[in-house]
Amino acid sequence: MFCIRACSGLVGCRTATRVRSLHSLPGITVAQIDEEVAKLLQLKAQLGGDDGKHQFVLKTAKGTRDYNPKQMAIREKVFNTIIGCFKRHGAETIDTPVFELKETLTGKYGEDSKLIYDLKDQGGELLSLRYDLTVPFARYLAMNKITNIKRYHIAKVYRRDNPAMTRGRYREFYQCDFDIAGQYDAMIPDAECLKIVHEILSELDLGDFRIKVNDRRILDGMFAVCGVPDDKFRTICSTVDKLDKLPWEEVKKEMVNEKGLSEEAADQIGEYVSMQGGMDLAERLLQDQKMSQSKQACAGLSDIKLLFSYLQLFQVTDKVVFDLSLARGLDYYTGIIYEAVLTQAGVAPVTTDAQNGAPSEESVSVGSVAGGGRYDGLVGMFDPKGRKVPCVGVSIGIERVFSIMEQKAEASAEKVRTTEVQVMVASAQKNLLEEKLKLITELWNAGIKAEVMYKKNPKLLSQLQHCEESGIPLVAILGEQELKDGVVKLRVVATREEVQLIHNTHTILDSCLT
């Protein structure tokens, strides 16, 4: 059925051409060659030797993956923690389609628009897969004229990025967003978003973390007072954004050499972006001769002060740092921005060079696990009359969380269970299928999670093995003697301890539940 003789030759040929052409490229890396070789070997394996039978390629699309039952069990646990927190804070949830009209996404992602997946024009509307959950959320609010809502949305988004799957980066990946939309008093919803990040990262038990906070207005004010020309704010901002990966000297070089900023302006920025602190830093900067000249910066700094006062009441200031180097790329932020990073050693570090004036970090940062900020203008872009709905939100970097949890599960001695079965209904002799099906029906009808093997006469050993493999704690063993006596033997798989119960659903049920 799938013998595509011409095609597999073609694929092989295409790959071979690519490899040949690589020889002539100066920028070829070892990793690229390894990748090509791996592809060729995979192809060879799929061709299945010399029998001439060519099979189609059995794989998932590039940058995507299946989740196996073990991964799903971990995913479910993580989701339960996160959704539990969102619900504790009174959030509703919504869902939107996986694709949107292409024009809905147009003009929202700047240069990254090239990463959007388009659907083929098969007649009808031009559609694209969603790139994030924020733009569909804004579209939803505008379309339904909703002016306030507190909602979470957990769903997959799509980016035609170069996947780095070993580092948990995929083309299809989950986003996990919590947003508060509405005209409210300053910093109250913003503070709650940070409280939520604090709760989730604490509960997930991923190790120590820090939440960096800054404000778009402080950044813009800082650029202004440091002498950055207005039209260079965005580009200088995205250079500052690299400070979590590059030392200051590199960042400065980019500002001066590539972006044409004066050395003096760059040095002034360098001074500010090395600053970290709490409410005290905001107070000091409000008195700062230069910074206080910017109205914008002052508004931002006052809000940071107010934010910290609420964070104190929320008991989360232990992890929150006001950090002037935090820049976050996205265009649509208008106020407060934040990003949470894990600081525990043990996972591959992202920042290794904490010298050269880069923010000094007591422990090694392992990259962002949450981020967000205020975006008061986005919904207005969708509203026919431009009516604004102020929004603040946070996105949990759930794929990175999955990766960490999977690593932890691998390292741990404890086995991840992929089912929740409480009891296996087994038999010691042959010809007891009927009796087993009767018993399991009683258990199912009583709400007990139970399994029976789909064989007429399975061996007792293989039934017990199945329990061990899937971590089923109890096994109810039926035998001829037990049936005569009207009892069921219930065995604890781990200890091999056995009790005889009168064959009665309630006695078995009680044992399963305790």
Binding residues for L-histidine: 132-134, 159, 175, 179, 328, 332-333
How many residues sit close enough to a copy of itself to count as binding (CB under 8 A)? 100
Among 5, 430, 449, 506, binds a copy of itself (CB under 8 A): 449
> What residues have CB less than 8 Å from 430, skipping those under 6 apart?
456, 457
What pairs with residue 211 in β-bridges?
A: 320, 340
Written as six digits, the tokens of 355 are 């010298």
Q: How far is the CB of 356 from a copy of itself (least distance, A)?
A: 39
Query: Do the bridges between strand 172-181 and strand 474-478 make them parallel or antiparallel, or are there none, so unpaired?
Result: unpaired
Query: Do the bridges between strand 391-396 and strand 99-101 make them parallel or antiparallel, or are there none, so unpaired?
Result: unpaired
CA distance 457 to 459: 7
With H, G, I as helix, E, B as strand and everything else as coil, classify residue 395.
Answer: strand
Residue 454 engages a copy of itself in binding (rule: CB under 8 A):
yes
Decide whether 60 or 412 has the Cβ nearer to a copy of itself: 60
Of 286-345, binders to a copy of itself (CB under 8 A) are: 310, 313-315
Residue 455 engages a copy of itself in binding (rule: CB under 8 A):
yes
Decide whether 230 or 434 has the Cβ nearer to a copy of itself: 434
Among 50, 231, 434, 497, binds a copy of itself (CB under 8 A): 434
Residue 473 engages a copy of itself in binding (rule: CB under 8 A):
no
H-helix or E-strand spanning residue 457: none
Of 368-407, binders to a copy of itself (CB under 8 A) are: 381-382, 384-385
Among 21, 34, 44, 103, binds a copy of itself (CB under 8 A): 103
What single DSSP character describes residue 360? Answer: P
H-helix or E-strand spanning residue 373: strand 368-374
Decide whether 295 or 449 has the Cβ nearer to a copy of itself: 449
- Amino acid found at 35: E
Decide whether 23 or 120 has the Cβ nearer to a copy of itself: 120
Of 24-53, binders to a copy of itself (CB under 8 A) are: 46, 48, 53
Q: How far is the CB of 202 from a copy of itself (least distance, A)?
A: 10
Among 3, 7, 4, CA closest to 15: 7
Asked if 59 and 91 touch (Cβ cutoff 8 Å), the reply is no
Of 112-171, binders to a copy of itself (CB under 8 A) are: 117-122, 124-125, 127, 129, 139-140, 142-144, 149, 151, 156, 158, 160
> What residues have CB less than 8 Å from 427, skipping those under 6 apart?
433, 435, 436, 458, 460, 463, 477, 478, 479
